[in-house]
Amino acid sequence: MKKAPRKKILAISIFVASILLSSCSSSIKSESNTTKISSDKKEINFVPASDEDIFLYRQIGISYLCMARQIEVEFPKAISLAAKNYALLISSRHGGFIKEVGKERLPEKNIYNGAILQILDGAIKNCPDMVPEEDKNKFLKTVEKIKNKG
């Protein structure tokens, strides 16, 4: 199955945004699909979010943002709620693990920041009239920074 460039950009944006926006350094190791977390004698198995999971959560966020803007919800509120929902899905269903990133658990803040970029990218493509010009410009500058660092 041929991997679409969009999926690659999404995975890279989550990873790079998590590094850029939280100023934390990390090492990437890709080993198993399931990560075991033990806390207070309870063992929880989380399956990292796959490319398909990420695509679904991204589409949900984009749809939410576009629909919220159509009913005149302020842009900052609409994108914030869409990104929080995305981050909550990754954190609660997958324990903060994303297959493409490896065995490292991403903090919810990093997932949220990556979600902002992904949802904004999709909204610019799917409902460009619903995204304020200022936010489009900020997004383009951020993408340029990511490209220059990567």
Q: Single out the residue of 25, 15, 23 nearest to residue 49, CA to CA.
A: 15
Number of structural domains (the chain) is 1
CA 62 to chain CA centroid, Å, is 11
Q: Single out the residue of 20, 11, 8 nearest to residue 109, CA to CA.
A: 20
* pTM score, whole prediction: 0.71
Which residues, at least 6 apart from 3, have a Cβ–Cβ distance to it below 8 Å?
Answer: 51
Please check whether residue 142 lies inside any domain of the structure: yes
Residue 129, number of CB atoms within 10 A of its CB: 9
Please check whether residue 137 lies inside any domain of the structure: yes
Please check whether residue 53 lies inside any domain of the structure: yes
Each of the 150 residues of the chain gets a pLDDT tens digit; together they read 444 555 555 555 555 444 444 433 333 333 334 455 444 445 578 999 999 999 999 999 999 999 999 999 999 999 999 999 999 999 999 999 999 999 999 999 999 999 999 999 999 999 999 999 999 999 999 889 888 986
Confidence (pLDDT) at 1: 44
Q: Are 116 and 79 in contact (CB under 8 A)?
A: yes
Which domain covers residue 142, as residue numbers?
Answer: 49-150
Please check whether residue 19 lies inside any domain of the structure: no
Please check whether residue 145 lies inside any domain of the structure: yes
Please check whether residue 9 lies inside any domain of the structure: no
∠ CA 113-29-86 to the nearest 5 degrees?
25
Please check whether residue 11 lies inside any domain of the structure: no
Tokens 């489009």 belong to 136
Please check whether residue 23 lies inside any domain of the structure: no
